[in-house]
Structures are given as structure tokens and as C-alpha cells.
Amino acid sequence: MKKGAKKPLFLVIALALVYGIAQERGITLPGLAGQDQVSGEVSGNALQQAISNRKSDVQVRGEGVVVKVLPDDLDGSRHQRLLVKLPAGQTILIAHNIDLAPRVANLRAGDTLAFYGEYEWNEKGGVVHWTHHDPGGRHIGGWLEHQGKTYQ
């Protein structure tokens, strides 16, 4: 192989590795338009569309203000539960699996919370779950972000 041909091959391999690691960890890389189609991710205004169209099993990213920190759900896998008001006014439930991810520390009503997980529609506004990594590697990893710290 010629000396000049090694550099492009190395770059292709390096980019493929970075992309693979990002996919495994549920990280969205800017500028990769096809990633939305591969992961099923919904971003921006599409979260509102999922709510309006009563869609479920939709990967979403969003941010809102914590309205209330609810008691943990202790049936089966333990979940930290919170109600979050979205910028458009809807309120959704966030169910964060604390058997697979750390509990969000010092969370209070009025705090801003960013999230990435799977949206499930219901009559009360819906729930976002899968806000954690998947140890089995079968589901897109999610996260919560509070005061600059990511919980996954």
C-alpha cells in the first residue's frame, strides 16, 4: 500500500470506531443526519408531535422544569419518578431506573432537567423511561442531565 493511501484508511477506521462507541453509549453525534433514522431518535419539535399524535416507543430528547419529585416506584425494578413540565406546557412523567443508573441527586421542584429516553403516550401526558444504559446492549442508552451532571 502506498504511503499516502494509509492516512484515508486510518481516518475511515477511526471514524467508524468513534461512531460505533457513540451508538453503543446512546450519544448523538452532530452532523450525522442518518443517525436519526437509525436510532429512531426524535428531537426538537418532534417530541411535541409524538405527544400530539399519541405515539409510543419513540426515542426522544427534551428538557423541562421539575414540577414534583414523586415517591420511588419500588415494584420490580426501582424507579425514581418525577413530573416534568415541558416548554409547550405539557407535563410528563420521567421514570428513571435506579437499579441500572444512579439516582439524580439533590433534585427539587423548579430545577431544569434534560432527558433522553423512550416516550410512551398515555392519557396523563406520557412517560419517558429508558433514561439509563442497557447492560444487555439491546436498547438505545438514555440519560438524565441535572446541574451539569449526566446520569445514565
Q: Within a 13 Å sphere around the CA of 107, how many CA atoms are in the beta-carbon half?
A: 29
* Cβ–Cβ under 8 Å, residues 61 and 42: yes
Query: In which residue are the cell numbers 436519526 written?
Result: 36
Residue 12, pLDDT > 80, answer no
Query: Are 92 and 29 contained in the same domain?
Result: no
Residue 114: predicted pLDDT? 97
Q: Which of 1-5, 26-30, 128-132 has the highest mean pLDDT?
A: 128-132
Residue 73, pLDDT > 60, answer yes
Residue 94: predicted pLDDT? 98
- The DSSP element (H or E) to which 34 belongs, if any, is helix 33-39
Mean pLDDT (the chain, rounded): 82
When pLDDT is averaged across residues 90-115 and rounded to a whole number, the result is 97
Q: Within a 13 Å sphere around the CA of 7, how many CA atoms are in the beta-carbon half?
A: 2
* Cβ–Cβ under 8 Å, residues 132 and 143: yes
32: confidence class by pLDDT, cuts 50, 70, 90: very low
Query: Are 29 and 46 contained in the same domain?
Result: no
Assessment of whether the complete model's pTM goes beyond 0.95? no
Domain hosting 26: range is 1-39
When pLDDT is averaged across residues 101-105 and rounded to a whole number, the result is 96
Residue 149, pLDDT > 50, answer yes
Residue 81: predicted pLDDT? 98
List of residues 6+ apart from 41 with CB closer than 8 A: 28, 35, 59, 60, 61, 140
Query: Are 57 and 106 contained in the same domain?
Result: yes
CATH number of the domain where residue 99 is located: 2.40.50.200
Residue 44: predicted pLDDT? 55
Query: Are 52 and 10 contained in the same domain?
Result: no
